[in-house]
Amino acid sequence: MRILLSLGLVRGLIAQAAGTAFGMALTMAIRVLLGLPAWNAEPVMVAGALVGVISFLVGVGAFTDWFKWVKGEETPMRHGPPEGRPAWTRYLSVDYSHKVIGVQYVVTGIALMLVAGLLAWIFRTELTQPGLQFLDAPTFNTMISAHGIVMIAAILLGVSGMMNYLVPLMIGASDMAFPRLNALGYWVNVPGAILVVAAMFVGGWNTGWTGYPPLSVQSPLGTPLFLLGVYFVGLSSILGAINIIVTILRMRTPGMTLFRMPIFVWASLAASIIQLTGTQLIGLSFLMVVVERVLGMGFFNPNLSPEAIALGSPPGNVLLFQHLFWFYSHPAVYIFVLPGLGIISELLPVFARKPLFGYRWVALSSMAIALVGFLVWAHHMFTAGMDPGLRVPMMYSTLLVAVPTGVKFFSWVATVWQGKLSFPTPMLFVLGAISVFLLGGLSGPPNGTVTTDLFLHDTYWIVGHFHATMFGGFVFPFFAAIYYWFPKVTGRKYNETLGKLHFWLMTPAFWVQTLAQMDVGLKGMRRRIVDYDPALGIETGHLLITIAGFVIGLSILVMLYNLVRSARTGEVAEANPWRSRSPEWQIPSPVPEHSYARPFVVVGDPYDYGLPGSTYIQFAPSGASE
Amino acid sequence: MSTIASTMADYRHQLRNNRLGLWLFFISEAFLFGGLFVSRFYLWGNTRPELDQTLGLTITSILLLSSFFMNRAEMAIAHDDRRTFLNSLLITAALGILFLIGVVGFEWRGHIRPWDGAFGAVLFGMTGMHALHVLSGVIFILIVWNNGRKGHYSSERHWGVEACAIYWHYVDVIWVFFYPALYLMGTVVR
Ligand code: HEM
Ligand SMILES: [Cu+2]
């Protein structure tokens, strides 16, 4: 009990509950003072949610050191597990080690993935037959909306987890540049995710993950909570990006020039640039919807009150939302996939025992994708009634993204070509990722071409497209990374048979799911609709999607079972099971508290596998430091 | 290396990190304010509401003046002149509060209200988001002032002051873009 109450997480949750109640009461009191009726669900809940999130952060202890700075006190950096408490408690409290924070991110991400996956199981069961079975339309709408946004949050957390754990290790930094900010960046996700989940229980919302007005201005009470929850998850992206960029630019070990950085570090840099800048705009657009709901500020309202007409005010415009939203949310897909594609480039040379083909091109292609990605947002608006003059430029810029993406593909193929391949679980997932991402990538250009998109938009084809890109670009590589670095993180081996079982269940099922989604989409199935016309002849397709969805979910449960069991009782792993050249594999597993006892210098290129006499890093002779 | 020299080197290293981090934060915020700025042109086009020009000019001058005092404070601590440093900080904070009074107490009490079409939404959106930043800047200044009063800064070590000063100038520069967008550009609609 005492240990339980000492956990930051528990304190944070209690504080969030208390803070929410306090914020609501305070707002009601202010409303009474202003002569308004005390209860109006919308403003009271929004204020409660905001105070609740801040209270969580205070309660968990994310601000403790900064409060001391405000008072002018010094706060020496503490390392290692907490004193007088079991070591595991550090994972449930504020901890400044990037390795702990990385694990926190990944575990939370997987937990959210399970929540969102469960929702998918439920609404997919509903969709196996036309007509309404056991869900009504509002519940269905809430579930698909929550599925989408919770998965996106899960992906963002997974991405941050990988970057947090791996980037400092790969560049030989002792930790991130701003450890306290790093901890805050992780913890702000937790109350944010709680808001999104809570939104499902206070009326839900029916806008899909995109939250387009005017619907989101009129939709049920869950909407503002969902919008605010996403806002805080976005805040985490921004804080994390600052940290990653400074760490990469300023804390590399001697000899690690930009073009000797691992590809994953390049990908993290590119993804962080998008997170740093773009995220503000989804935040702004969601905030605008919240203030339109709460204060009636008509950013998106096409109707004018008589007073506004008397002032000569122009009306609001819903398209403004879409522009702001997609200016982030298109580049956001590259936040999801760039690190994953980096993992692919990272692991292929290890398992092919060959240098990565075209290192410089691959490194720069991540940057190119990130930059061009900012010029394509309106390809989500071809049917929205925007200025037709934007259509063709956006179409060409969209198709242009295929060039740097193609560079990566060619590099992968050329890397595998004539390699001495071996196929342990991580390699299988890498190859699965490439195959699935190819499918997703090829289904993109038809969406980006105006003429075809007019027919494809808002159909299940799009659902197939982005599931394939997200799975190929994030989920498969993420699992590859989990299996690959599992021995590094835990010091133990995972079970290879179960790992392969996971792969062979998930990959065929995923192919079936995506192809069936695309197929029913082409036959006329709309997105985000609980019912469909049996005359479309898509019942078999829907049945296949549902069955495949269940198999994918089960396979992930197999993985979790494997990971949890192996972390406890797995065989002790050897130091460098993959014969990797990367520095983090040259030190003991699990990584010691201060990762590198001796600093290292970079003397060669990272991926020169199989080249005789090539070295990447050299450790300083012992005793040289300090 | 002696310990003092090594802590000083650590401090300088961290200082460079901090500076970069702060500038990245500014880049990020530029997209937030940029989004609002673009929204103004998207919704208002070539029009603008009638606003109190004297008020606009006054608060703008107050904010610009405050940046001058902020600069003076930073110069003073760099020369270990604690008195000028503390006084200038207080003047900056006072001017910041005056600006806030101008925005919240006068501008927001004009004939335009938040729910009055795109005029209300954009006017309150832009000034509100900016005022929030001014408010946080004032709080930041007061924290720095309080720590300065206790003698926590020296000419060698005053990252807190530097960060506060750049932040203040940054918020000031944002207003230099917002003021003409709200008060000067486009034709007045009556
Ligand atoms: C070169 C490859 C790609 C092209 C040309 C492309 C193009 C498009 C277009 C035009 C749409 C909008 C379709 C519509 O709603 O009518 C779309 C949707 C989407 N794409 Fe891609 N895409 C590509 C790759 C990717 C990648 C790598 C991802 C990353 C995961 C991705 C994620 C998405 C998502 C999430 C949507 C759905 C947005 C929504 O309507 O809710 N796409 N894609
Ligand atoms: Cu897009």
At position A103, the amino acid (one-letter code) is V
> How many angstroms separate the CA atoms of A297 and A320, rounded?
14
Query: Does residue A58 belong to the interface with chain B, where contact is any CB pair within 8 Å?
Result: no
Distance A399 CA to ligand 1 centre (A): 11
A81: left (phi over 0), alpha (psi -120 to 50) or beta: beta
Give me the residue from B21, B39, B160 closest to A178, CB to CB.
Answer: B21
- The upper half-sphere exposure of residue A425, i.e. CA atoms within 13 Å in the direction of its Cβ, equals 28
Q: Report the C-alpha dihedral over residues A166, A171, A177, A181, rounded to 10 degrees.
A: -10
CA distance A21 to A588: 48
pTM of the model as a whole:
0.95
State which residues form the domain around B178: 3-189
pLDDT bin (cut points 50, 70, 90) of residue B118 is very high
Residue B79 Ramachandran class (φ > 0 left, ψ -120 to 50 alpha, else beta): alpha
Q: Does A324 touch chain B (CB under 8 A)?
A: yes
Which regions of chain A are under pLDDT 50? 624-626
Backbone angles phi, psi at A618, to 5 degrees: -135, 130
Residues A276, B27: C-beta atoms closer than 8 Å:
yes
Q: Average pLDDT for residues B173-188, to the nearest whole number?
A: 95
CA atoms within 13 A on the CB side of A78: 10
Residue A400 at interface with chain B, using a CB cutoff of 8 Å: no
Q: What is the pLDDT of residue A621?
A: 82
Burial of residue A306 (number of CB atoms within 10 Å: 0-12, 13-18, 19+):
exposed
- As a dihedral over the C-alpha atoms of residue A76, residue A81, residue A84, residue A90, rounded to 10 degrees, the angle is 100
Point out the ligand nearest to the CA of residue A326: 2
Using CA atoms of A158, A64, A59, A82 in order, give the dihedral in degrees to the nearest 10: 70
Set out the domains of chain A in order of their start, with CATH numbers.
11-74 (no CATH), 90-300+317-619 (1.20.210.10)
CA distance linking residue B174 with residue B71, whole number of Å? 17
Q: Which residue from A minimizes the CA distance to B149?
A: A72
The answer to whether the CB atoms of B117 and A305 lie below 8 A apart is yes
pLDDT for res A625:
46
What is the Cβ-side half-sphere exposure of residue A337, based on CA atoms within 13 angstroms? Answer: 29
pLDDT band at B1 (very low <50, low <70, confident <90, very high): very low
Under 8 Å between Cβ of A313 and B116? yes
Q: Which residues pair with B47 in a beta bridge?
A: B187
pLDDT in tens, B17-44: 999 999 999 999 999 999 999 999 999 9
Q: Is A154 in the pocket of ligand 1 (CB under 6 A)?
A: no
- A280: nearest CA in chain B? B32
Q: What is the rounded CA–CA span in Å between residue A332 and residue A343?
A: 18
Distance A379 CA to ligand 2 centre (A): 6
Q: For ligand 1, atom 26, which residue shows the shortest CA distance?
A: A469
pLDDT in tens, A362-416: 999 999 999 999 999 999 999 998 988 999 999 999 999 989 999 999 999 999 9
Under DSSP, is residue A602 helix (H, G, I), strand (E, B) or coil? strand
Are A238 and B28 within 8 A, CB to CB?
yes
Q: Could you tell me which chain B residue has the CA closest to the CA of A274?
A: B28
Nearest atom of ligand 1 to the alpha carbon of A448 = 10
Out of A285, A312, A314, whose CB is closest to B43?
A314
Using the Cβ of A541 and the Cβ atoms of chain B, whether some distance falls under 8 Å is answered with no
**A-interface mutation test, from B18, B24, B46, most A Cβ less than 10 A away:** B24
Residues with Cβ within 8 Å of A97's Cβ and at least 6 positions away in sequence, in order, are: A79, A90, A175, A179, A593
CB atoms within 10 A of CB A373: 23
- The token duo for A14 is 């209690």
B153 phi-psi bin (left φ>0, alpha ψ -120 to 50, beta other) = beta
Contact A316 B152 (CB under 8 A): no
Provide the 8-state DSSP code for B101: I
Q: Which two tokens stand for residue A461?
A: 């084809």
Window 356-375 of A, Cβ < 8 Å to B: none
- Widest Cα–Cα separation across chain B: 72
Residues 6+ away with beta carbon under 8 Å from A24? A44, A45, A47, A48
Beta-carbon contacts below 8 Å between A and B: 137
Q: Give B71-86 pLDDT, tens digit per residue.
A: 999 999 999 999 999 9
- Exposure letters A538-566 (e unless 16+ CB within 10 A, then b): beebbebbbbbbbbbbebbebbeebbeeb
Report the number of distinct structural domains present in chain B: 1
Are B31 and A280 spatial neighbours (Cβ–Cβ below 8 Å)?
Answer: yes
Q: What's the CATH code of the domain at B176?
A: 1.20.120.80
Cα–Cα distance between A467 and A474 in angstroms, integer?
A: 10
A288 CB within 8 Å of a chain B CB = yes
Q: Is the per-residue pLDDT at B185 higher than 90?
A: yes
A window 300-319, beta carbon within 8 A of B: 301, 304-305, 307-309, 311-317
Find how far residue A52's CA is from the centre of its chain. Answer: 24
Put simply, the chain A residues between 206 and 265 with a CB less than 8 A from any chain B CB are: 238, 241-243, 245-246, 249-251
Whether A333 is in the pocket of ligand 1, judged by its Cβ within 6 Å, is yes
Whether A586 contacts A169, CB under 8 Å: no
Residues 6+ positions from B147 with CB-CB distance below 8 Å = A70, A72, B153, B160
Specify whether the CB–CB gap between B126 and B178 falls below 8 A.
Answer: yes
**What is the rounded (10 degree) CA torsion for A227, A233, A235, A238?**
-130
Positions of E strands within A519-614: 600-602
- Number of residues in chain A: 626
Q: Which atom of ligand 1 is nearest to the CA of A457?
A: 16
Nearest of A242, A272, A266 to residue A177 by alpha carbon: A242
Q: Between A238, A280, A316, which is nearest B35 by CB?
A: A280
Q: Which ligand 1 atom sits nearest the alpha carbon of residue A336?
A: 30
CA distance A26 to A399: 52
